[in-house]
Structure 1
Amino acid sequence: MGMGAHWGMTTAMITGIAMDDARYLTLTQWLSPAYPVGAFAWSHGLERSIGRGDLRDAQDLADWLSDVLDQGAGRSDAILLCAAHAADDPAALAELAAVLAPSRERRMETLHQGAAFAATTRAVWGLDLPDMAYPVAVGRAARLMAMAVQPVAQLWLQSFASNLVQAAQRLMPLGQTQAQRILADLAPLCLRIGTEASHASLDDLGTAVFAVDTAAMQHNNQYSRIFRS
Structure 2
Amino acid sequence: MATGEQWVTITAIPMRDLDLLTLTQWLSPAYPVGAFAWSHGLEQAIARGDISGRDGLADWLAAVLTHGAGRSDAILLAEAYRSDDVTEVASLAAALSPSKERRMETLQQGAAFVATTREVWALPLPNMAFPVAVGRAAALADLPLTPVLQVWLQAFASNLVQAAQRLMRLGQTDGQRILAQLHPIILAVAAEAEAASLDDIGSATFAVDTASMQHEAMASRIFRS
Partner of 1:48: 44
> In 2, distance between residues paired with 1:195 and 1:117?
24
Q: Which amino acid aligns with 2:157?
A: A
Deviations 1:58-102 (A, max 9, x none): 100000000000000000000000000000011111110000000
- Scaled by the length of structure 1, the TM-score of the pair is 0.92
> In 2, distance between residues paired with 1:88 and 1:19?
22
Partner of 1:3: none
> Where does the alignment leave 5 or more consecutive residues of structure 1 unmatched?
1-15
Contact map agreement 1:106 1:216 (CA 8 A) in 2: yes
Displacement after TM superposition at 1:217 (Å): 0.3
Does 2:174 align with 1:181? no
5 Å matches for 1:22-171? 22-171=18-167
Displacement after TM superposition at 1:37 (Å): 0.1
Q: Match of 2:187, SS?
A: helix
Q: Which amino acid aligns with 1:156?
A: W
- Provide the alpha-carbon RMSD of the alignment: 0.7
5 Å matches for 1:183-198? 183-198=179-194
> In 1, distance between residues paired with 2:186 and 2:104?
24
Contact map agreement 1:17 1:151 (CA 8 A) in 2: no
Q: Which amino acid aligns with 1:188?
A: P
Deviations 1:184-208 (A, max 9, x none): 1101111111111111011110000
Displacement after TM superposition at 1:17 (Å): 4.7
Partner of 1:224: 220
Aligned residues: 214
Displacement after TM superposition at 1:153 (Å): 0.6
> In 1, distance between residues paired with 2:19 and 2:147?
11
Partner of 1:5: none
Q: Which amino acid aligns with 2:126?
A: P
- Scaled by the length of structure 2, the TM-score of the pair is 0.94
> In 2, distance between residues paired with 1:95 and 1:193?
23
Contact map agreement 1:122 1:129 (CA 8 A) in 2: yes
- Superposed structure 1 runs of 4+ greater than 4 Å apart: none
Displacement after TM superposition at 1:57 (Å): 0.6
